[in-house]
Amino acid sequence: DGGITQSPKYLFRKEGQNVTLSCEQNLNHDAMYWYRQDPGQGLRLIYYSQIVNDFQKGDIAEGYSVSREKKESFPLTVTSAQKNPTAFYLCASSMWSGSLTDTQYFGPGTRLTVL
Amino acid sequence: SQQGEEDPQALSIQEGENATMNCSYKTSINNLQWYRQNSGRGLVHLILIRSNEREKHSGRLRVTLDTSKKSSSLLITASRAADTASYFCATDERNQGAQKLVFGQGTRLTINP
């Protein structure tokens, strides 16, 4: 089956720890995205990548880092510098046609809780 | 920054009734998209309407776009319990040279049996 997978589904972090959220896609999409969603809110863009070995900051990149070493994978690290990391994290991908506004396909999400 | 704003924030109707959700935005767009999110899950793309289109249909979904009023509506006809979800509109916005999707806060739709 084609799609996007995220792991783990639930993640608990102690304060001061870095954690990495996994995102893998087999849709052969060039562009990938990370969003953060807080309760009752819309999505806010953290980072995006249009091509392997390149990525750009979104609206709320502080305290987060990413890498794009493979087309299929776009892991997100939530660092200890992120002061309020408890949220629902969504990864998405899309075909690249020169715009980031094409239809996006989302993974099932990772719920991160800081203890 | 520009953002689609959905109205109402929450909507509760009886199964079989029609549900209408609205989205307003502030600046010109190239396209507008609607997504659905079931509780605790990822978003699913429903429909994309371009700025030169006025209406689009997909099954029980009907989307309209009025660029003069900078608004869009999503109509779900003959609602079912499985339609219970949050619905988001997303508009394209140019920020620092890159055009990207900006999501609204969503409408929470509850279909009562």
Nearest-CA residue of chain A relative to B41?
Answer: A108
Q: Give A-chain residues touching B44 at CB under 8 angstroms.
A: 106
- The predicted-structure confidence for A4-30, as pLDDT tens digits, reads as follows 999 999 999 888 899 999 999 999 999
Please report which confidence band the pLDDT of residue B95 belongs to, taking 50, 70 and 90 as the band edges: low
Q: Which one of A99, A108, A109 has the shortest CB-CB distance to B99?
A: A99
Please report which confidence band the pLDDT of residue A40 belongs to, taking 50, 70 and 90 as the band edges: confident
Closest to B28 measured CA to CA, from B75, B94, B104 = B94
Nearest-CA residue of chain B relative to A43?
Answer: B103
Note whether B89 and B37 are within 8 A (CB).
Answer: no
Q: Is the link from the previous residue into B113 a cis peptide, with omega within 30 of 0?
A: no
Q: Residues near A39 by Cβ (< 8 Å), separated by ≥ 6?
A: none
pLDDT at position B1 over 60: no
Distance from CA of A113 to the nearest CA of B (A): 14
Phi, psi angles (nearest 5°) of residue A34: -125, 135
Q: Are the Cβ atoms of B31 and A101 closer than 8 angstroms? A: yes
Q: Residues near B94 by Cβ (< 8 Å), separated by ≥ 6?
A: none
pLDDT at position B84 over 70: yes
- The predicted-structure confidence for B18-58, as pLDDT tens digits, reads as follows 999 999 998 888 899 999 999 999 999 999 999 999 999 99
- The predicted-structure confidence for A43-93, as pLDDT tens digits, reads as follows 999 999 999 999 999 999 999 999 999 999 999 999 988 889 999 999 999
Distance CA A34, CA A29 (A): 14
Q: Give A-chain residues touching B88 at CB under 8 angstroms.
A: 42-43
What token pair was written down for A69? 């070493």
Distance CA A34, CA A45 (A): 6
Q: Note whether A2 contacts B: Cβ–Cβ < 8 A.
A: no
Note whether B23 and B75 are within 8 A (CB).
Answer: no
Q: Are the Cβ atoms of B3 and A107 closer than 8 angstroms? A: no
Q: What is the pLDDT of residue B3?
A: 64
**Mean of the per-residue pLDDT values for chain A?**
93
Please report which confidence band the pLDDT of residue B2 belongs to, taking 50, 70 and 90 as the band edges: very low
Distance from CA of B32 to the nearest CA of A (A): 9
Q: Are the Cβ atoms of A109 and B41 closer than 8 angstroms? A: yes
Q: Give A-chain residues touching B1 at CB under 8 angstroms.
A: 59
